[in-house]
Amino acid sequence: MITFETISAKVRANKRISAAEAEFLFNSNELLEIGELAALANERKNGRNVLFNVNRHINPTNICVNRCAFCAFSRTAGEDGAYTLALDEICRRAVEAQGEGATEVHIVGGLHPDLAFEFYEEALRAIRKAAPSLHIKAFTAVEIEYFSRIASLSIEQVLERLKTAGLGSMPGGGAEILVEEVRQQICPEKISGARWLEIIRLAHLAGLKTNATMLYGHVEAPADRVAHMEMLRTLQDETGGFQAFIPLAFQPENSDLKLDVKGTSGLDDLKTLAIARIFLDNFDHIKAYWIMLGEKIAQVSLAFGVNDLDGTVVEEKIGHDAGAKSPQALTRDDIIRLIRKADKIPVERDTLYNLIRCY
């Protein structure tokens, strides 16, 4: 029989917990006890260090052929608010970020019906030339699959060409919930969960590190979250290519997904981050994305197993178009203060988790 005590004994002995045990934790309201176990699991891996990186997000276009039901960012071509940035503008933003001390640009966007694959290669080349010190973390598995279709190339060929153009790693978006029945409700046009995993696997085999996200707080059940994390844990056992796991709290405004909820609760946010820390024993980093969580929950999450804060995003569109109330940017000093006040040690990292400086 599963009890909190049997789970606690496993975590304390540094043993892996099962999917059924993770589901038990999701159905429990013992938030502080779950948090304590997560904090223990985190401290074993990361001590008191909390990592952050200075980055800038660039979303080249919000025009997207998929139009996922939860997404308030995307537009159809010609619709009010639809935009596509020119190459010059993408480059200008990267150069500005480099000038402000960023070490990374994070580039993701919609699946544009007319832009050619060469546009994205050109964007990477131009950024690499104009801002050579920036690491380019770009394109979700969903975009990679789209490029392979529009350019009639294999996934391996797309990844090779992007690497040659300057791609350094990939973010973890597009995973949503990898369980097919949930995808059919929230993003029926998107690639399947199995395909997302396969593309990430190929990226890892090509030497690209990636992250993994989980969009939670919509139609999914606790069992779906656990199934999602179990698929990631299995792939990580095989490739070791994931850097961080990032739960994304669903922001419900302006989305076509009409739910009764007004967003996730703080309790659910903390529990989800903590269970992720306990369950994903082969992930080094659990990242709180304060844009979706708000600064306060992100700060408290540092006592619930989180060791990584994203980021110093200068302009954020995906969460804010969906009603996120967090600020558009936190400076390096804001982040350092937030971490110190949580009694942790702020450590700036680069995209590949090399430590840059302790504060």
Rule CB under 6 A: say whether 193 interacts with ligand SF4.
no
Cis preceding-peptide flag for 311 (omega within 30 of 0)? yes
Interaction mask 90-119, ligand SF4, x per CB under 6 A: --------------------xx--------
3-state secondary structure (DSSP) of residue 270 = helix
Q: Which does 107 bind (CB under 5 to 8 A by kind): ligand SF4, ligand V47, none?
A: none
Candidates 3-11, 59-67, 247-255, 335-343: pick the segment binding ligand SF4 (CB under 6 A).
59-67
Question: DSSP strand E in the chain: where?
Answer: 49-52, 55-58, 104-107, 135-138, 210-216, 242-249, 285-289, 308-310, 345-349, 355-358
Interatomic CA distance for residues 156 and 225, integer angstroms:
29
Rule CB under 6 A: say whether 171 interacts with ligand V47.
yes
Rule CB under 6 A: say whether 191 interacts with ligand V47.
no
Rule CB under 6 A: say whether 174 interacts with ligand V47.
yes
Rule CB under 6 A: say whether 326 interacts with ligand V47.
no
Q: Give which of 68, 74, 70, 134 is closest to 104, Cα–Cα.
A: 134
Instruction: Pick the binder of ligand V47 from 147, 250, 279, 283 (CB under 6 A).
Output: 250
Q: Which does 213 bind (CB under 5 to 8 A by kind): ligand SF4, ligand V47, none?
A: ligand V47
Judged by beta carbon, residue 166 or residue 217, the one nearer ligand V47 is 217
Interatomic CA distance for residues 134 and 18, integer angstroms:
40
To ligand SF4, the closest distance from the beta carbon of 142 in angstroms equals: 5
Interatomic CA distance for residues 147 and 107, integer angstroms:
15
Instruction: Pick the binder of ligand V47 from 42, 103, 251, 301 (CB under 6 A).
Output: 251
Pair of tokens at residue 185? 């409700």
Rule CB under 6 A: say whether 339 interacts with ligand V47.
no
Rule CB under 6 A: say whether 68 interacts with ligand SF4.
yes
3-state secondary structure (DSSP) of residue 186 = helix
DSSP-assigned letters across all residues of 14-77: T-PPPHHHHHHHHT---HHHHHHHHHHHHHHHHTTEEEE--EEEE--B-B-SS--TT-SS-B-T
What is the distance between the terminal CA atoms of the chain, rounded to a whole angstrom? 46
Q: Are 124 and 167 in contact (CB under 8 A)?
A: yes
Q: Which does 66 bind (CB under 5 to 8 A by kind): ligand SF4, ligand V47, none?
A: ligand SF4
Q: Which residues bind ligand V47 (CB under 6 A)?
A: 70-72, 108, 171-174, 176, 211, 213, 215, 246, 248, 250-251, 255, 289, 292, 310, 318-319, 322
Query: What are the residues binding ligand SF4 (CB under 6 A)?
Result: 64, 66-68, 71, 73-74, 110-111, 142, 187, 190
